[in-house]
Amino acid sequence: MDKLDQEFGKHYLIEMIECDSEKIKFVESVRQTMLRAAEKSNATILKHFFHQFKPTGVSGIVVIAESHLSIHTWPEKNYAAIDIFTCGKMDIKTVLDEFKKGFNAKQATYTIIPRGF
């Protein structure tokens, strides 16, 4: 592989649409879904941090050995934006299924961006 043609990982930009607003309003339910998704995808969780906005909404990150998962929620719009960057062998289908189930999203779409140079 040429020095100028190396892929280090994949960045998934995920749109969770028509979520159950109750599932994305507060830290605890968002944290549980994020950690469960990481665990079930065989990622190695290193640390996590979540912030509760007032009155509702959450931003958070789960740092994994393979890179990270992050989330920002807009309960008033029933929407969650999720980024996953992985340089390892995560089971991305499992992650998406866990997010969709955990947030009761009616629709989930994603874009994959190869990372590297």
For residue 106, name the pLDDT band (cuts at 50, 70, 90): very high
Catalytic positions are: 67, 72, 87
CA dist list (Å): 73 to 6, 14, 33, 43, 49: 33, 12, 13, 22, 14
pLDDT at position 4 over 70: no
User: pTM above 0.85?
Assistant: yes
pLDDT tens, 68-95? 999 999 999 999 999 999 988 788 889 9
pLDDT on residue 88: 81
Determine whether domain 11-108 maps to CATH 3.60.90.10.
Answer: yes
- Are 50 and 35 in contact by the 8 Å Cβ rule? The answer is no
